Amino acid sequence: MKIVTSGNKYIDIDAYASCISYSNFLNQKGIPSKAVSTAKLNESITKKLLNLNIKLDKYMPAEDDEFVIIDVSNKNYFDNIVKENKIIEVIDHHTGYEEYWKEKLGEKSKIEFIGSVATIIFELYEKENLQEKITKDIAYLMMSAILDNTLNFKAKITTPRDITAYKKLEKIAKCSKNYASEYFLECQQNIEEDLKTALENDTKTEIISGKLPNVISQLTVWDKNNILDSKQLIDDTLKNFGNEYILNLICLKEEKSYIIASNDLLLHNIQELLKGTINEFYLECENVWLRKEIIKRAREIR
């Protein structure tokens, strides 16, 4: 059995949608597969998406299981069910481990700096002429993944491939023209209902470079104000992960990132990295940044 899975702490809509859609892809090719995760689901996976007819599979480990890793390539963060010696494929859009997996897996390593992993999965359907096997529910999942990971196509990581994939999926889903705003407003509602859990479910801990702390959290909302008013809760929550942190608060209405930092020195270091204006306890950037873009920038200017 091919087990399609992702990270061990939490998964976002890109990992969730891509695991499910790639497992379906393999099954359509006659390759028995399951989409599995033992991680928490973060707030980008809305209630409407969870209520679709297609979901993650139940899983009982077996000796002949082989693993396909989606939306993560740092082996320290793979789902706990993964056995490294049985990994047969890695599909990701985070940089840093391309050479490692290319050497181990050859063409079965697909790591590209692109907006969404769901875009790569959609292109695999097209390559195998299986796009007719994409149901409306799978299309909704993949569309949401592309929207979330490209910040409604405003993030610098967005490529023409992401836009093309979304437009084709839109025709399959036959959704409303306002789907993007509906999706992001539901995400914000989920976040504001339980901000503490939302922060915990989208916080990444990794040693990256001296320019960044080891704790980097990210939230995507339509309107930033309610979140900025919750500075004490943010501080109390993220300091449970480490003394130094940043929160990348993405405000889609203004098309900007607001970076909240655990201390003034760190805030000024982030200003050197990303530019922008410091206002009280946060840095107002001139544009939106995704966490993976911030990490990539920090690595490039070590």
Tokens of 236: 């109390």
Tokens of 220: 């995507």
Strand-pair partners of 229: none
270 closest CA partner among 259, 262, 255, 257: 259
**What is the rounded average pLDDT of the residues 54-61?**
95
The DSSP symbol for 99 reads H
Tokens of 215: 């704790």
Does an H or E element contain 102, and which? helix 98-105
User: In the chain, pLDDT over 90 holds for what percent of residues?
Assistant: 85
Going by pLDDT thresholds of 50, 70 and 90, the confidence category of residue 94 is: confident
Q: Which domains does the chain have, with CATH numbers?
A: 2-183 (3.90.1640.10), 194-300 (3.10.310.20)
**What is the rounded average pLDDT of the residues 121-140?**
97
Token match 């007819």: residue? 53
Max intra-chain CA distance, the chain? 57
pTM of the model: 0.85
Cα→Cα distances 68→2, 23, 189, 292, Å:
7, 9, 33, 21
Measure the CA–CA gap between 82 and 257, rounded to whole angstroms: 34
pLDDT digits (tens, 9 = 90+) for 207-221: 877 779 999 999 999
Instruction: Provide the pLDDT for residue 225.
Output: 87
Type of residue found at 5: T
Q: Please say whether the beta carbons of 71 and 215 come within 8 A.
A: no
pLDDT digits (tens, 9 = 90+) for 13-38: 999 999 999 999 999 999 999 999 99
Instruction: Provide the pLDDT for residue 280.
Output: 84
Please provide the average confidence, as pLDDT, over all residues in the chain.
94
**What is the rounded average pLDDT of the residues 274-288?**
94
Cα→Cα distances 224→2, 151, 179, 216, Å:
41, 14, 20, 18
Instruction: Provide the pLDDT for residue 302.
Output: 63
Type of residue found at 188: Q
SS3 assignment, position 193: helix
149 closest CA partner among 141, 160, 158, 140: 158
Instruction: Provide the pLDDT for residue 83.
Output: 95
Instruction: Provide the pLDDT for residue 210.
Output: 75
Going by pLDDT thresholds of 50, 70 and 90, the confidence category of residue 81 is: very high
pLDDT digits (tens, 9 = 90+) for 147-156: 999 999 998 8
